[in-house]
Structure formats: structure tokens, C-alpha cells
Amino acid sequence: MSDELELFPAAPVAASASPTSHPASGIARVFVDVPLRRAFDYAIPLELRERVSKGSRVLVPFHGRKAVAFVSEIVERSEVPVSRLKSIARVLDERPAVTEEILSLASWVSSYYACGPGEALAAAVPHDVGTEEKKTKRSSLDLDAKVELAPGFDLSSTKRMGEKQRRILAALANAGGSLRSGDLLRIAEADRASLERLRERGALSLTSTPREESEPEVGTSEPPPPVLTGEQESALAPILEDLSARRFQATLLFGVTGSGKTEVYLRAIARSLELGRGAIVLVPEIALTPQTERRFRGRFGSLVAVLHSRQGGRARAREWKRVRDGSARVVVGPRSAVWAPVRDLGVVVIDEEHDPSYKQESSPRYHARDTAIMRARAASAPVILGSATPSLESWQNATEGKYRLARLRGRPGGALLPRCDIVDIAREWTEVRAQPLFSRALELSLKEAFERGERAIVFLNRRGFTTFLHCPQCGHVQKCPQCDIALAFHKREAALLCHFCYHRAATPRGPCPACLGPPLRQRGSGTEKVEEVFRTMFPGVTTVRLDSDALAGGVTPEDVLRRFRDGSAQVLIGTQMVAKGLDVPEVTVVGVVSADTGLSHPDFRSAERTFQLVAQVAGRAGRGARPGRTVIQTFNPLHDAIALAAKHDFETFAARELESRAQLGYPPFGRLLKVLWRSPSPARVEAEAEAAVADLKDALSGKEAAVLGPAPSPRRYLAGKHRWQALVKARSPGAIKAAVGALEARGGDKAVEMALDVDPVSLL
């Protein structure tokens, strides 16, 4: 286990000197769901004394409102005078919502990732769970629900509303009056409670997507377990020993795409169940959950529970309670499943452990992979981290011996990795004297596959029809008025959309609005255009598209993937969703329309991300009896991230990239803290960032650390706020801790928001 996960040693937050006792029924020390890293004391009314205990979820008065809080302990004395103690208003659950194990994990997340313990605990319990929510008129909030402004609501009548409510209404108005609730909360940087209050005031309406609420099936659809290969047996044997010995050990299961990593997971979980213990399986994308769910239900039946935000409220609450009660012992889900109340946790699986979606980008900004490792260590349970393209941090831990390294070099049954051909698009365009979206090699490969009755995947990590509108005379680009981002053209909606705040604008007609010269021209391509061009080239071939645009209107990822798996569609076109874990044996051709979309990002991980994405999507081909072929189109055919991905050569890529990281002190050879300041006022945010960095440099003087910045963020203006950021690079974990402490201790301009991101996975 790597020592860097001990960056912030967990310590309970407790009241200090001069305590006074409460004469009635004791005092609850609680963590409120706010970004404060301290506990608050509340009196327990006599009528609630029997219902309040450690781990209870309660409703408390907090700064003029009712807030959800979690009881961390029951005490008899407080530093707050008895006369000033407020009382708990309500208990939200018949039994404690969080266990001692989850309380401890939340304490570590709070101290390590610099967030409030209450925020971490709120992430651990679905909002739909509880017996008292109906009495408080708090309905479950589906993150995929459609939110719309109520007809006739006066947007100017917001004087008595809180700042978060005003931000929600402004974001909704900028998006044309309708947004998915999860996107709305992200853009407005608001919480569910604010959205619920607006609904109660009649300012907006929420329409949930209909979802299956049936009881989980006891599945037996999986065929009998296959005979393990020698490599699978070698990888599995020490994990089974760890299970029997109740011993924590992290194993990096480094296996090429299609090498049978899932079967190793299944065998380890089967052994954990035999020992009377449970399991957690993390997957990076909700789109992958149904596919993984089928495999695991087929093997373990009703012992499997699935937890993710696309479930309806009742289904999510039911599954969570099944886990808490012990009737479900295997939990499958994305990032938030790391908090599942599994009894006697025996093994943790982190599939596609390299995936950046395991890092939450809003508070609490925890990394599910590292959080899962800490949970497993506390439970004396082994961890399996599976990937064909591991994160360089995990790879370094494995090569240094902190993790066990297990290799799966081949595919079961003798299936070969796909042949990968790189097409230099610049040369292609010169030779054909045009700028086609599909190269001759890709077009020919697709044609031959369709003639053989095979299927294909076409990948482009950009959505929309075209990526921006550009004036050929003055260079003007049509941008979002709320963000410093080019508006993308969406042909189906006949509108320009901001892919961050969802601002909608009409497509300009006539001359350039900046120079009154020629009309704006479309530049770049997205998946919507890829689909249109494909249908023109292959008119008889059926397609489905998987991106966030295609999932609007209640369509789910499983709906799309089901059509592709059952053969209703011969081609799947999509963004990065199609690159993660998709296993369809009939796919023999994969086309990467542009492998360069992430290489130009100002982030030290851009090459690593590009390698992972290209290698992963290439690995979707040839997973059955027929050989596969991947065509990679690029303007950078000699770049290591592309050339080595085409050769399936992760180890050479990792060696070269790690050498560069070591020279620059980037992870895994150093630690990072990203500090972001944002405000509607450009002058105030700049001044606050400059002052904070000056104080930060003084605090870090003499320590092994450097402060880069402050400077305007690469996304310098988003959702109506100007953004500045700085980066702390440190050789020692203590320096990061000191930086966090210095930033939290200073007063600063209260009108400027500050966000701390420990171990950021993105610098944008």
C-alpha cells in the first residue's frame, strides 16, 4: 500500500475545553452537510432519545434553515453553554444510516480531500433512503429528471431567494428553460435541497424518466464458468490466499483488452461469498453497469445489488436497503458505490481503474479508486485493480512492489489483438485532394466488414454536428456569453449549444456579426455529423449513436447498447462511452475518426489519456472468433500516445512517460493541489488569487514545494464567473497538507469562491 494515501491522517473532530453537560438527554455531535471540517453539538430532545445514535441521519436547524446532518457520537458534555444549544428537529431514519466503517471512511475522505465530513457522508447515503422524507415533503430527486421553468414564473422575483436558487434559475434560463437535473446542479454549483425548494415555490417542474422498478432477478443466464487459462489461475491464486487470510493487498491486474479480467473478478467474489463476506465492484461508466450487472447476476443471482444515479428513487432506495440488511452482498456500480453499506467486506474490484471518471469533480472531490483502497485496507480485504492501460500512478506502485502485479498477456481461446493501422490524415487529404471524414482505409474496412455480415464501432470524442462557427475573413468564433467556450452547432436541434452551461443560441444567418463580412462557416466534426456522413456512405446499414445528446428524452445507454448487441444496429457511433468495457464479439472493425482531440489540452496527462482512449477503443475489435482491425486517423502519426497505442505497447509508453514525469516532478513522483478561485468580478478574483498565492508561498517557504501561478484558468470564464487557478507541486506529502491549512486559515475576499482539489486528475 502506498504511503501517499496517508497525506492527511484522519482524526475525529471534537469539542475542546470548558465543557458543560446537558441535563436532559445527552448531546449529539454531528457533521452537517456543508463544506466545513468541524462538528456541531445539538441537544437531543427527550422524545427522540431512543432514536438518536451514532450514525443516525438527522434534520437540524442550521443558519436559518433545516439541514441534514450525521451523528458522529453521543456525548454528555459540550463546550457550548446549555442555553445556546439548539435541538435536533427530526430523525430521518428508523435505524442509523451509516455504519462505524462508513463514518471512519468519511473522516479520512474529509481530511485527505479537504472537504466537510458531512459532505462525504451525504455522498454515502442516497437521498431517496429514509422513512421520514415523505413527512417532510422531500421527494426523491432523479439526476436524470427533466427540469423546466414553470410557465409564467417571473424570473425577476428572486429577491427573497438564496444565492444557490438564483444560480439555478439563471442557469436554467440560459439553457433555454430546460435541463437535466444533474447538469443543472453542476452548472449552478448548487445542491438538491435548493432545487427542491424552487419546485415547492412553483418556480420549476421536474419530470422523471420512467424506469424499471421491478424486483431484481435471480439470474441463471450466464453459461457455466469457463476453464481458466494458466495466466488467469496464476493471477487468481494469491488473491484467494489473501481472502482466506483476511489480508489486505492491492493487486494490479494488467491484462490486454479481452483477456478475461472479469472472470478473475467473479472467481474472487465467489470465494468471498463462500467465506461469508461481501464484495464491491466499481465500474467507470453508468453505461457499463447493465452489462456488468448481467454477468454478475448470472453468476450470483439476487445476491447482487446495483447502485447508480440513473435508477429511479424507489429502486435505488430498495437496493441500498438490501445491501444494508445483508440480503445483497455484492454491489455493482460507478463511483458512489464505494460507499455501499456492505457487511463484512471481503474483496473490492475496481474495473478500468485508470478511468478519470472515478474522480469526483465537485465537493467532496474524492477519488473512488483511492477511497476504495483505504476502505479495503480498513476491512482487511484484498483489492483488484483491473486495466489494460493502467494509470501511471498504479503502474508505478506495481513496479515498485507496493501493489502486486498480475499479468494477462493473451485473450482466452486464442483470439488475437486487433491489427491497428494508422492513417496520416494530412497526407490522406493531400492525396485525395479533399477533406473526407472517413479515410479510404477506414471506408474499405467498413465495407468489407458489412459484406461479411460483421459489425463495427466508429469513435469520435466530440459530440454535436460541428464544433464551432468561424469567420474566414476576421477569424471571429461564435462563443457562449456565459463561458469562454466556442458554441457547437447541433443540426438536429438547429441551434448552437454550450457544452458546459448548455446556453442555447440561434444559428447566425447573414454576414459575420463581428466584421459584417462573409457568413460564418462550420468547422470541426462531432458524432452527429459522423452519423450523417456514415449513412450517406452506407445507406443500407443501420446505426445507433451513444453520446449525451442521443440520451436526451429518456433514452438510456442500455437502450442504445441493447440494439447494438442484439443486432438491430450494425454500427455503433459514439464518444468515449463506447471505449469502456464494451464486449460484443461480432465487432471486427473499429474506426477512430480523430485520435488527436485530447492531445492539445494544457494538461500533463493529455498524452496518457490519449493513449488510454485509443488503446481501449481499439480493443473493442476482434473479441470473438474473427480477427479484428482498427483504423486510427490522426495528424500526429509519430506521437508516442498514438504510435504505441496502435502497437498495444503500454509498457514502452509508460516507461517514456514516467521518465518525463520524474524530471518535472509530476505524479507519481510528486503530489498536486489545484486551487481554483472564481467570481463574477474579474478584478476581485485576480486580486484574491494574487494575495492567496503570496501567502501560500510564505507558508511553504523552506518546504519541498513549488507554487505555479496564479494565472487565468484554461477555462477562464465559465457559467458567468471568471476563474483563476494555481498549482502546488510538492515532493513531500506534508507540504500539500501545509498548503491546504494555509489556504483554509486565511480570511480572504468572501465574495470570491475558492475550491481545493487534492490529487486533481484534470488541470482544466
pLDDT in tens, 87-129: 999 999 888 999 999 999 999 999 999 999 999 999 999 877 7
DSSP string covering 596-617? TTTTTSSSTTHHHHHHHHHHHH
Which residue stretches of 566-605 are H helix?
none
Identity at 346, one-letter amino acid code: G
pLDDT greater at residue 430 or residue 501: 430
Identity at 120, one-letter amino acid code: A
Instruction: Evaluate whether 67 touches 46 at the Cβ level (below 8 Å).
Output: no
Fold of 415-465+525-660: Rossmann fold (3.40.50)
Q: Say whether 629 sits in a helix, a strand or coil.
A: strand
278-282 and 330-333 beta bridge pairing? parallel
Q: Can you tell me the distance from the alpha carbon of 469 to that of 218, in angstroms, rounded to the nearest whole number?
A: 52
DSSP string covering 306-350? E--TTS-HHHHHHHHHHHHHTS--EEEESGGGGG---SSEEEEEE
Q: Can you tell me the distance from the alpha carbon of 108 to that of 114, in angstroms, rounded to the nearest whole number?
A: 10
Length of the chain: 764
Cell numbers linked to 716? 477562464
pLDDT at 240: 98
Q: Can you tell me the distance from the alpha carbon of 261 to that of 195, in angstroms, rounded to the nearest whole number?
A: 41
pLDDT in tens, 578-621: 887 677 888 999 999 999 988 888 899 999 999 999 999 998 88
Instruction: Evaluate whether 437 touches 529 at the Cβ level (below 8 Å).
Output: yes
The most distant pair of C-alpha atoms in the chain lies apart, rounded to whole Å, by: 88
Instruction: Evaluate whether 424 touches 637 at the Cβ level (below 8 Å).
Output: yes
Q: Can you tell me the distance from the alpha carbon of 495 to that of 506, in angstroms, rounded to the nearest whole number?
A: 5
pLDDT at 3: 41
- The DSSP 8-state label assigned to residue 672 in this structure reads E
pLDDT at 39: 94
Class of domain 3-124: alpha beta
The residue-averaged pLDDT of 180-198 equals 74
pLDDT at 133: 40
Cell numbers linked to 101? 466503517
Q: Can you tell me the distance from the alpha carbon of 578 to that of 288, in angstroms, rounded to the nearest whole number?
A: 9
- What are the respective helix, strand and coil percentages of the chain, to the nearest 5? 35, 20, 45
Phi, psi of 578 (to 5 degrees): -85, -5
Q: Say whether 719 sits in a helix, a strand or coil.
A: coil
Q: Can you tell me the distance from the alpha carbon of 112 to that of 371, in angstroms, rounded to the nearest whole number?
A: 10
Peptide linkage before 519 cis (omega within 30 of 0): no
Q: Can you tell me the distance from the alpha carbon of 418 to that of 619, in angstroms, rounded to the nearest whole number?
A: 7
Q: Say whether 709 sits in a helix, a strand or coil.
A: strand
User: Model confidence at 538, in pLDDT bands (50, 70, 90)?
Assistant: very high
Identify the residue whose cell numbers are 472564481: 678
pLDDT at 326: 93
Instruction: Evaluate whether 331 touches 725 at the Cβ level (below 8 Å).
Output: no
Segment holding 178, helix H or strand E:
strand 178-180
Identity at 362, one-letter amino acid code: S
Instruction: Evaluate whether 289 touches 306 at the Cβ level (below 8 Å).
Output: yes
pLDDT at 344: 96
Q: Can you tell me the distance from the alpha carbon of 270 to that of 681, in angstroms, rounded to the nearest whole number?
A: 57
Long-range CB contact pairs, 749-752, < 8 A, 24+: 749/679, 749/684, 749/687, 749/688, 751/679, 751/681, 751/684, 752/677, 752/678, 752/679, 752/681, 752/684, 752/685, 752/688, 752/689
Going by C-beta distance under 8 Å and a sequence separation of 6 or more, which residues neighbour residue 245? none
Instruction: Evaluate whether 216 touches 319 at the Cβ level (below 8 Å).
Output: yes
pLDDT at 315: 82
Domain boundaries, the chain: 3-124, 146-207, 230-288+322-410, 415-465+525-660, 671-758
Peptide linkage before 19 cis (omega within 30 of 0): no
Does the pLDDT of residue 135 top 70, yes or no?
A: no
Which residue stretches of 485-556 are H helix?
527-537
CATH number of 230-288+322-410: 3.40.50.300
Instruction: Say yes or no: do domains 415-465+525-660 and 671-758 share a fold.
Output: no
User: Model confidence at 81, in pLDDT bands (50, 70, 90)?
Assistant: confident
Which residue stretches of 454-605 are H helix?
527-537, 557-565
Could you tell me how far CA 645 lies from the centroid of its own chain? 24
Identity at 579, one-letter amino acid code: A
Residue among 573, 583, 572, 558 at smallest CA distance from 308: 558
Q: Can you tell me the distance from the alpha carbon of 496 to that of 222, in angstroms, rounded to the nearest whole number?
A: 45
Identity at 567, one-letter amino acid code: G
Instruction: Evaluate whether 549 touches 528 at the Cβ level (below 8 Å).
Output: yes
Q: Can you tell me the distance from the alpha carbon of 6 to that of 23, in angstroms, rounded to the nearest whole number?
A: 40
Return the HEC string of 389-430: CCCHHHHHHHHCCCCEEEEECCCHHHCCCCEEEEEEHHHHHH
Cell numbers linked to 729? 507541486
Q: Extract the runs of DSSP E, i.e. beta strands, from 486-595.
A: 488-490, 495-497, 504-506, 521-523, 543-546, 571-574, 587-592
Identity at 150, one-letter amino acid code: A
Q: Say whether 61 sits in a helix, a strand or coil.
A: strand
CA distances from 7 to 359, 401, 403, 673 (A): 17, 20, 18, 12
- The DSSP 8-state label assigned to residue 744 in this structure reads H
Does the pLDDT of residue 136 top 60, yes or no?
A: no
The residue-averaged pLDDT of 723-737 equals 92
Q: Can you tell me the distance from the alpha carbon of 247 to that of 381, in angstroms, rounded to the nearest whole number?
A: 6
CA within 13 Å, CB half, 547: 22
Residue among 628, 630, 662 at smallest CA distance from 646: 630
Q: Which of 181-185, 530-534, 547-551, 552-556 has the lowest mean pLDDT?
A: 552-556
Identify the residue whose cell numbers are 453508468: 286
Instruction: Evaluate whether 565 touches 578 at the Cβ level (below 8 Å).
Output: no
pLDDT at 15: 36
Edge-to-edge strand list for the sheet holding 383-387: 304-306, 330-333, 278-282, 345-351, 383-387, 250-255, 404-408
Q: Can you tell me the distance from the alpha carbon of 127 to that of 118, in angstroms, rounded to the nearest whole number?
A: 13
Q: Which of 76-80, 207-211, 300-304, 664-668 has the lowest mean pLDDT?
A: 207-211
Q: Can you tell me the distance from the alpha carbon of 303 to that of 296, in angstroms, rounded to the nearest whole number?
A: 9
Domain 671-758 in CATH: superfamily? Ribosomal protein S10 (3.30.70.600)
Instruction: Evaluate whether 109 touches 120 at the Cβ level (below 8 Å).
Output: yes
Q: Can you tell me the distance from the alpha carbon of 509 to that of 618, in angstroms, rounded to the nearest whole number?
A: 40
pLDDT in tens, 322-374: 999 999 999 999 999 999 999 999 999 999 999 999 999 888 999 999 999 99
pLDDT greater at residue 137 or residue 267: 267
Q: Extract the runs of DSSP E, i.e. beta strands, from 76-180.
A: 77-78, 90-91, 146-149, 178-180
pLDDT at 152: 67
Q: Which of 445-454, 473-482, 622-631 has the lowest mean pLDDT?
A: 622-631
Does the pLDDT of residue 131 top 80, yes or no?
A: no
pLDDT greater at residue 24 or residue 475: 475
250-255 and 404-408 beta bridge pairing? parallel
Phi, psi of 564 (to 5 degrees): -75, -40
CA within 13 Å, CB half, 522: 15
Could you tell me how far CA 78 lies from the centroid of its own chain? 39
Residue among 687, 685, 690, 688 at smallest CA distance from 716: 685
Q: Can you tell me the distance from the alpha carbon of 288 to that of 25, in angstroms, rounded to the nearest whole number?
A: 49
